[in-house]
Amino acid sequence: MKLCELEKASLGIFPTPLQKMENLTKEIGCGDLYIKRDDLTDVGLSGNKIRKLEYLVAQAKAEGCNTLLTFGGPQTNHGRLTAAAAVRCGMKCILILTGERPDYMSGNLLLDKLMGADLYFTTGDPEEAAKKVIAQYEAKGDKVYVIPTGGSNELGAVGYIQMVPELMAQCKEMGIAPKYLVCGSGSQGTFGGLWLGAKYYGAPFEVLGVTINPATPRTPDSCAEYINRMSEMYGLGVTAKGEEIRLFKGNREENYSGVAYNTPDPVTRAHIALLARTEAIFLDPCYTGKVFHGFVDMVKSGIIPKGESAIFLHTGGIPALWTKEHLDSFQEELWGEGSSHTI
Ligand SMILES: *Cc1c(COP(=O)(O)O)cnc(C)c1O
């Protein structure tokens, strides 16, 4: 199967903007710093999952499915965007969410409900839960298309392979040649797709990943395998070796991925505040705040060499700012005595 033969549903608005971060560049010094705004893909307050879903939903439709099912934590952005894609395509959406049902409906859960998604919480095996739910829907005549966590299989990642020519054209148009593109690495469809796309299309930038979840960091070797599987599947002629895959998690002093997945931490919050204060662009506390911490540290510590310009990929996730746990921690920091005035 060739890349250009793959069907694609139209869900987002592309190209997403590529912007220079003037104030941040001044503040932390270095070469010019840019931001690629995949938080502005439009539908359902999007983010990076929409590029993947364009390919996955096209396949669901081609297979005659009327329902999308996917997995995630209760605050999954991927789940929210699967619900949004289902709305746009006139399909039903089922989300299998791992963990207890929170008492308070905040962040993405509110948006999932507003879009009419069916939510199923489980503390057991999500695959088993999905099997049961699918049987119920199929008994009613629905046909369910199953999307893996994060939309990160060989098909979903094509969305990010294909972001590379979009970004190369933007750089050319702006007359700039950044040497690095920094993105988050969770389920790795984004990083894997970009890495493969950069090699296949001969991009002038190297793709660097920042690990998001300290508990389950994907290894460079498993990432290289994923890339090689895709390269073979689409006949791209690229071979990745584990030692070429550059994933960063920081060190003891600068630990980018924080304490745990989706657990509030003050360093991530400080970096969210930094970009808000310098560029009026908002990051989220679960993913992009951590990746931006990595980006800033890579600039300051010379991993991105002095004078070289670099692009930060904003992958969305903003609704997490308004989840109960994160709001409570911001509350302590920003809403204490003397933090605002009444006259
Ligand atoms: C899912 C997600 C990521 C990670 O992308 P992967 O392709 O899973 O590695 C990064 N940022 C946000 C906001 C996300 O929702």
Q: How far is the CA of 2 from the centre of ligand 1 (A)?
A: 25
Q: Average per-residue pLDDT in the chain?
A: 95
End-to-end CA distance of the chain: 66
CA–CA separation, 147 and 54 (whole Å): 12
Kindly state the average pLDDT of the residues 89-114.
96
Q: Would you say residue 217 has pLDDT above 70?
A: no
Kindly state the average pLDDT of the residues 273-288.
97
Amino acid at the residue 309: S
Contacts of residue 204, defined as CB under 8 A and 6 or more positions apart, other chains included, come to 168, 171, 177, 178, 179
Nearest atom within ligand 1 for CA of residue 193:
7
pLDDT band (50, 70, 90) for residue 251 = confident
- 36-87 pLDDT, tens digit each: 999 999 999 999 999 999 999 999 999 999 999 999 999 999 999 999 999 9
188 lines ligand 1 (CB under 6 A): yes
Q: Would you say residue 112 has pLDDT above 90?
A: yes
Q: How far is the CA of 151 from the centre of ligand 1 (A)?
A: 10
CA–CA separation, 150 and 158 (whole Å): 13
CA–CA separation, 131 and 109 (whole Å): 22
Check residues 7 and 216 and name the one with the higher pLDDT.
7
Task: Please give the biggest Cα pair distance in the chain.
Answer: 67
Kindly state the average pLDDT of the residues 21-38.
94
pLDDT band (50, 70, 90) for residue 30 = confident
- 159-215 pLDDT, tens digit each: 999 999 999 999 999 999 999 999 999 999 999 999 999 999 999 999 999 998 877
Q: Would you say residue 323 has pLDDT above 70?
A: yes
Domains of the chain from N-terminus onward: 3-47+153-334 (3.40.50.1100), 49-151 (3.40.50.1100)
Q: Would you say residue 332 has pLDDT above 90?
A: no
Whole-model pTM?
0.97
Find the range with the poorest average confidence among 18-22, 39-43, 218-222, 295-299.
Answer: 218-222
**290 phi, psi to nearest 5 deg:** -70, -40
Q: Above pLDDT 90, what percent of the chain?
A: 90
Kindly state the average pLDDT of the residues 284-298.
97
For tokens 């207890």, the residue is 100
Kindly state the average pLDDT of the residues 256-285.
94
The packing angle between helices 324-334 and 266-279, to 10°, is 70
Q: How far is the CA of 187 from the centre of ligand 1 (A)?
A: 7
